[in-house]
């Protein structure tokens, strides 16, 4: 695939304050110049960010850019999800990232759906082909999966339920993605699977995220990042080198595009972009 046919997207989280929203607007303006297909906005499990996700998405749309809200089903009822889908439809949003969400600790109820495949099925039942649906994929295996094989079979359920494409959890080991794609081929899964790319902003934060979501930071990288301690400039410099090389290898080997976890900042993504010469 030629590089210009590839699809790029950037993910944000909904800011909590007007200042956060203003900062995101600035970052978004810079990132919009890179010509992504869409910006996606995360959704807190159980609907905790429902209003803020919608507000952020509408802000993006008002600037004439394609916006894709995430929707997670954990701890939500069928009626609540139906209402959110109707709301997205009423705002003429046609693109959605459908997820289970992380299981909340404590007594919160699981909701009407246990898995993202059930949510995808529900979205198709309720809204037909209105939405382009993205789902999550895990080249390094979802942390709760009983085996790699079971996780792949579960990914296939989401595809069979009607997902159009997938975005992966972030990873720093390109071979995990290539193997995952080979396994998808062998299973007859042919939807595009976009590598999720996490720039390295801060080692402590990355290490916390990674422990929860099962993304592996390779030992050689982890030890070097740890050595830098509070020297954030060196952490970022190494991160930019490593992530640019990762993206370059993925694109050179046929990845259909890239989805950046931008964390509401433009700097790292823009630098990686320039270095890639996209
Ligand atoms: C691109 C991306 C965006 C994300 N955005 C958000 C967000 O906005 N909000 C948020 O809360 N979280 C988000 N997450 C995190 C995601 O919600 C978690 O990773 C969650 O733990 C799993 O979600 P899922 O949609 O992959 O779940 P699922 O596909 O349902 O899988 C969850 C686990 O259940 C297993 N499983 C699936 N189906 C079955 C079955 N039928 N029987 C037995 N086991 C099964 C799977 O193997 C896996 O281990 C995002 C993740 C990614 C990769």
For ligand 1, say whether the CB of 171 is within 6 Å of any of its atoms: no
Name the residue with the closest Cα to ligand 1, atom 13: 101
pLDDT at 217: 98
Query: Looking only at Cα atoms, what is the longest distance across the chain?
Result: 52
For ligand 1, say whether the CB of 95 is within 6 Å of any of its atoms: no
What amino acid positions are annotated as catalytic residues?
11
Q: What atom of ligand 1 comes closest to residue 155's alpha carbon?
A: 29
The alpha carbon dihedral of 35, 36, 37, 38 has a sign of: negative
Beta-ladder partners of 170: 196
The Cα 62–Cα 48 span in angstroms is 23
Residues 222-235 have a mean pLDDT of 96
CB atoms within 10 A of CB 174: 19
pTM attached to this predicted model: 0.97
For ligand 1, say whether the CB of 101 is within 6 Å of any of its atoms: yes
Tens digit of each residue's pLDDT (9 = 90 or more) over 21-65: 999 999 999 999 999 999 999 999 878 899 999 999 999 999 999
For ligand 1, say whether the CB of 248 is within 6 Å of any of its atoms: no
What distance in angstroms lies between residue 101's CA and the mean position of ligand 1's atoms?
6
Tens digit of each residue's pLDDT (9 = 90 or more) over 162-177: 999 999 999 999 999 9
pLDDT at 140: 98
């Amino acid at each position: 695939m030629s590089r210009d046919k590839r699809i790029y997207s950037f993910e944000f989280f909904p800011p909590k304050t007007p200042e956060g929203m203003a900062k995101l607007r600035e970052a978004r303006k810079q990132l919009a110049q890179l010509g992504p297909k869409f910006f996606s906005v995360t959704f807190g499990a159980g609907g905790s960010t429902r209003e803020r996700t919608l507000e952020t998405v509408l802000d993006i749309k008002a600037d004439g850019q394609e916006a894709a809200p995430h929707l997670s089903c954990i701890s939500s009822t069928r009626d609540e999800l139906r209402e959110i889908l109707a709301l997205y439809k009423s705002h003429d949003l046609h693109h959605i990232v459908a997820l289970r969400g992380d299981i909340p600790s404590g007594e919160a109820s699981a909701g009407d759906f246990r898995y993202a495949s059930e949510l995808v099925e529900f979205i198709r039942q309720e809204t037909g082909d209105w939405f382009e649906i993205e789902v999550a994929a895990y080249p390094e295996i979802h942390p709760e999966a009983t085996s790699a094989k079971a996780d792949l079979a579960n990914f296939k359920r989401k595809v069979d339920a009607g997902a159009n494409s997938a975005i992966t959890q972030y990873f720093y080991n390109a071979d995990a993605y290539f193997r995952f794609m080979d396994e998808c081929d062998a299973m007859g899964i042919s939807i595009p699977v976009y590598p999720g790319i996490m720039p390295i902003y801060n080692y402590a934060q990355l290490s916390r995220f990674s422990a929860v979501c099962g993304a592996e930071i390779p030992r050689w990288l982890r030890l070097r990042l740890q050595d830098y301690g509070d020297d954030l400039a060196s952490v970022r410099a190494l991160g930019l080198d490593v992530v640019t090389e990762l993206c370059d290898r993925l694109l050179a080997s046929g990845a259909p595009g890239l989805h950046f976890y931008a964390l509401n900042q433009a700097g790292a993504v823009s630098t990686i972009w320039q270095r890639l010469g996209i």
